[in-house]
Structure 1
Amino acid sequence: MKYLALLLISSLFMGCEKSDDTPQNTPEAFYFPPNTGSTWETKSMASLGWNQSAVQPLKDYLADKHTKSFMILVNGRIVMEEYFNGHTAATTWPWNSAGKTLVATAMGIAEQEGLLNINNKVSQYLGTGWTSAALEKENLITSKHLLTMTSGLNDDKELVIKSNLTYLADAGTRWSYHNVFQKLMDVVAAASKQDFDLYFNSKLRNKIGMEGFWNVGTIFKIYHSTTRSMARFGLMALKNGKWKEEQILNETYFKESISTSQTINPSYGYLWWLNGKSKYMVPGGQTVYQGALVPNAPADMYAAMGAEDQRIYVIPSKNMVVIRMGYASDPANPNFALSGFDSALWDKINAVIK
């Protein structure tokens, strides 16, 4: 009897020990915030083992570099959320060219709905004569060329009007960062037979709880939103186009978006910037630089990048999304997308997360 009692006690003890260990060994479930309201779960830096003594230097750097807002999310939960210079969680801010990724997403949704095919020529949706190029050259340009910045159209003028869209090279033979991507909005509008904004709102914005709007800028339409709305899109991107139980954008298209889209600039997908590649090009030139886009950032990072250092960094290996909104880190050089700010910022981030 004594032996049986000891055996039972031992079994119970071992069972309790196993139960205690199980939660510690179970990966944390990914979190999506509710689509409405301000509720958003947080996670402490201490629980992640981060270096909290490096947080203040990061904040000081962000403030010094004219940042308005900054967020780090891990597994969907907010680890760091900071606002500077009067900016608040309710304030909207322009994404600038980081919003190109929203257009790429809308294109993918329209394609999965059977409304268009990105491999079809643009003139199939917009009609011929949407450029000033000869018809045989215009007909070479597909939506995919616009998604990958390889239209071959002249890039020396920012305003996208027919007279500025002149032939420079055959589509697919030259990579050049160009505002002509905005013609994709017209493609979606024509294919869906509704205004692009309405299609975008119903198929993407409203489904993930974003709060934002497209505003016509001096050159092209620019998306404005709160920092948390930008983070929502970042979370969907981290989950390969999925939001909660719904696959908003099919995974195949999304993975194409964040993969090298052509051989000229391997650091570019479908309007997404890609880290960890062997070489890259930057807006405004034809120079090819060797090495990764942001060498000190995780190699698997992909990013939405806009003028004045608007950023969504997505890092799958760390289940992390990083958001930065604000004025240009260097007011004398507002830039188009890439800047030296990325490397300097990642030095500060690495000091916290490593």
Structure 2
Amino acid sequence: MKKYFLFITLLVSIFSCSQNEDLSTTEKSIYFPPITGHNWETITPSELNWNTQEIEPLITYLEEKNTKSFIILYNGRIVIEKYFGDHSESKPWYWASAGKTLTSIITGIAEEKGLLNINNKVSDYIETGWTSLPVTKENLITCKHLLTMTSGLDDSLGDKVSPANLQYLSDAGTSWAYHNVYVKLQDVIETTSKQSFSTFFNTNLRDKIGMTGTWLQTGDFSVYYSTTRSMARFGLLAFNKGAWNSTKIINEDFFINSINTSQNINKAYGYLWWLNGKSSYHLPQSQFEFQGKLIPNAPNDLYAALGKNDQKIYVSPSKKLVIIRMGESSEGTNFALSNFDNELWGKINLIIN
């Protein structure tokens, strides 16, 4: 009788565990939307036991802060998707400097294909004279310096990347200065792949994960425009460490390096990604070191693509979240980080915690 009781108990236990696994499958597995079409699975805030009473205050805040679109993904599924004013799911908007992370990933793809080595100097791939520096100083600048904002070029001369605007500030690797010179990586890829950067990008990234969008010329360089869902697709790729479902898009080692501190000057910067949870950080157009986390209210493991006027991709593996915000500036003009980041995460925490 005792053995029979133990057997029944074991069966009940196994059934219970199996049932719990079935109930939590949606929560545990990462979902990827189809490459084509508009279908995208959703999950409700209630299913996640989120505080639904705080959602409407968040939406109101976003609208007050000139937001055009906002998406929260949980393990890839849409939890919240909201468009404001005349913006819609089908309308594109610019990524601004959040698009730097597109160039980061494309550089990793190009390196894996043998088209470049990030430790080689830029002038190995494009002709010398791409800056106003003496050749000896220009040849100190590697592709990795462009990825990490440590080129040593003066960041106070505006957005242009013609040689006249690329002037000496310090030797490469000795200072951190936020600069559009990173787009020279696109020139490197065009030269080594023998095709336009946009063609290489479309073939090796955009089309493989079902993004839409295009690079539009703005002055000396191009800015990416896409729908909010396309930005969310890229965020989901970043959440899954550079793989789309089971398909590897970028070498995982490169991607892991890109979302970790890349140099010893600005601890909150990887390969064109911003990093939270570090002990200090630098901001654009400043050589001052600020103490503390980049976004105090955000998870420590968060890595982010931050663009002018509050274009945002936030990725937090510990919270299983990808969050997208597109729109006009929340207040004033900013180049990457703003007060909006911390305020927004304060409101998100009221929902998810």
Counterpart-to-counterpart distance in 2, 1:353 and 1:3 = 46
SS at match of 2:208: helix
CA distance in 2, matches of 1:228, 1:278: 33
Instruction: Find out whether 1:334 has 2:333 as its counterpart.
Output: yes
Once residues 307 and 53 of structure 1 are traced to their aligned partners in structure 2, the CA distance between those partners, rounded to angstroms, is 31
Name the counterpart of 2:209: 208
Partner of 2:296: 295
**CA distance in structure 2 between the partners assigned to 1:152 and 1:4 by the alignment:** 75
Cα gap change, 1:28 to 1:128, in 2 (>3 Å): same
- Give the SS at the match of 2:253: helix
Q: Output the amino acid matched with 1:61.
A: Y
Rounded Cα–Cα distance in structure 1 between residues aligned with 2:7 and 2:288: 74
Question: Quick one: distance in 1 between partners of 2:56 and 2:14?
Answer: 44
TM-score in terms of structure 2 length? 0.95
Measured in 1, the distance between the counterparts of 2:202 and 2:67 equals 28
Alpha-carbon separation, structure 2, partners of 1:281 and 1:352: 30
Unaligned stretches of 5+ residues in structure 2: none
| Kept in 1: contact 2:162–2:220 (CA 8 A) | no
Question: Hey, what's the Cα distance between the residues in 2 that align with 1:123 and 1:189?
Answer: 14
Q: Deviations over 1:322-354 (max 9, x none)?
A: 000000001xx2111111110111111111111
Q: Which residue of 2 aligns with 1:79?
A: 79
Structure 1 residue 11: Cα displacement: 7.7
Whole-angstrom distance in 1 between the partners of 2:240 and 2:17:
31
Q: 1:168 to 1:75 in 2, by over 3 A?
A: same
CA 1:9–1:298 in 2, change beyond 3 Å: closer, same or farther? closer
**For residues 84-95 of structure 1, what are the structure 2 equivalents within 5 Å?**
84-95=84-95
The superposition leaves residues 117-157 of structure 1 with CA deviations (integer Å, 9 ceiling, x where unpaired) of: 00000001111111110010000000000000000112122
Within a 5 Å distance, the mapping from 1:150-299 to structure 2 comes to: 150-157=150-157, 158-299=159-300
Q: Which residue in 2 is equivalent to 1:51?
A: 51
RMSD between aligned residues: 1.9
Partner of 1:60: 60
The residue type equivalent to 1:32 in the other structure is F
Call closer, same or farther: CA 1:5–1:182 in 2, change over 3 Å: closer
Question: What's the secondary structure of 2:47's corresponding residue?
Answer: helix
Q: Matches of 1:298 and 1:312 in 2, distance apart?
A: 14
Change (3 A) 1:226 1:25: closer
Post-superposition shift, 1:13?
A: 5.8
CA-to-aligned-CA distance 1:69-124 (integer Å, 9 cap, x gap): 00000110000000001110000000000000000111000000111000000001
Q: Distance in 1 between matches of 2:93 and 2:83?
A: 12
Contact 2:210–2:233 (CA<8 Å) still a contact in 1?
A: yes
Instruction: Rate the CA distance shift 1:18–1:343 in 2: closer, same or farther, 3 A.
Output: closer
TM-aligned CA deviation for residue 3 of structure 1: 11
Q: Unaligned stretches of 5+ in structure 1?
A: none
Instruction: Give the Cα separation in 1 of the matches to 2:102 and 2:162.
Output: 22
| Separation (CA, whole Å) in 2 of partners of 1:234 and 1:206 | 15
Change (3 A) 1:192 1:23: same
- Aligned mates of 1:99, 1:3 — CA distance in 2: 66
| Percent identity over paired residues | 55
Q: How many residues align?
A: 351
Counterparts of 2:109 and 2:244, CA distance in 1: 14
Determine the C-alpha separation between the residues in 2 that align with 1:7 and 1:268: 56
Deviations 1:253-293 (A, max 9, x none): 00000010111100000000000000001011111100000
Name the residue aligned to 2:312. 311
Mapping for residues 14-163 of structure 1, pairs under 5 Å: 16-24=15-23, 28-157=28-157, 158-163=159-164
One-letter identity of the residue aligned with 1:247: K
Superposed displacement of residue 19, structure 1: 3.8
Q: Distance in 2 between matches of 1:165 and 1:17?
A: 65
Structure 1 residue identity aligned to 2:126: L
- Provide closer, same or farther for how the CA distance between residues 168 and 46 of structure 1 changes in structure 2, counting only shifts above 3 A: same
Amino acid at match of 1:204: L
Tell whether the 8 Å contact from 2:155 to 2:178 is kept in structure 1 after alignment. Answer: yes
Q: How far has the Cα of 1:220 moved from its partner?
A: 2.5
Q: Which moved more, 1:22-31 or 1:220-229?
A: 22-31
Structure 1 residue identity aligned to 2:304: A
Residues 39-64 of structure 1 show CA distances to partners (whole Å, capped at 9, x for unaligned) of 00000111111000000000000000
When residues 351 and 15 of structure 1 are mapped into structure 2, their CA distance, relative to the original with a 3 A threshold, is closer
Indicate how the Cα distance of structure 1 residues 128 and 58 shifts in structure 2: closer, same or farther if over 3 A, else same. same
Question: For the residues of structure 2 that align with 1:19 and 1:80, how far apart are their CA atoms?
Answer: 30
Amino acid corresponding to residue 20 of structure 1 in structure 2? Q
TM-score when scaled to structure 1?
A: 0.95
How far, CA to CA, are the matches of 2:257 and 2:273 in structure 1? 10
Which whole-Å CA distance do the structure 1 matches of 2:316 and 2:64 have between them?
25
